[in-house]
Amino acid sequence: MPQKIRMISEFSFPAAVLHEALVSAEYWEARVRELDGPHAELSIHHDDDGTLVASISKPVVTERIPPRLLRFWPSGLRLDYSEHWPPLVDGVATAEISGGIAAVGSLTGICELSDGATGCLSEYSVTVESGIPMAGKLIAGAFAKGIIEDSGAVDAFTERWLRMRQERV
């Protein structure tokens, strides 16, 4: 059964400033280095239309997996995840998000970045699924919980990274 996640984050910077980070290799390299650990791999490229594609492959943290799911979710699995950030148009950009853990589960969705009253908003809507019979709902739930937990760390890192860049200017 699919698990739907919807989160809205507020940042104290305009959408153009946050978007500039999200299409920057420097941002992604720092984010992966700080948040995803030494065994994470990052691939970045720009499409002809200016879209940045950031792809991350990182080990699944087995401590986050409920013990009764470990037989379905063995150690050594990797989460492969990507974000496709198009150019900002009229203060709005909508990224396509996709990822998965081998045959265990997948995620698809979007993240819309837009200006807000005092900065910008990032609205994240994603669907997590697992097709494993009898355990799919539990697996999708654990996968969704990890995404939600990670999002707070990503938001905090992003706000900190933007502040440090602003202080350098």
Mean pLDDT over 136-148 rounds to 86
Mean pLDDT over 101-130 rounds to 93
pLDDT, one tens digit per residue, over 99-114 is: 998 878 899 999 999 9
Reported pTM:
0.90
- Residue 120 burial (10 A CB sphere; 0-12, 13-18, 19+): buried
pLDDT, one tens digit per residue, over 5-38 is: 999 999 999 999 999 999 999 999 999 999 998 9
Confidence of residue 139 (pLDDT cuts 50, 70, 90): confident
Domains of the chain are 3-168 (3.30.530.20)
First-to-last alpha carbon distance for the chain, in angstroms, is: 48
Question: In this model, does residue 137 exceed pLDDT 90?
Answer: no
Q: How far is it, in rounded angstroms, from Cα 50 to Cα 42?
A: 19
Question: In this model, does residue 65 exceed pLDDT 90?
Answer: no
Percent of the chain with pLDDT over 90: 67
Q: How many Cβ atoms sit within 10 Å of the Cβ of residue 67?
A: 7
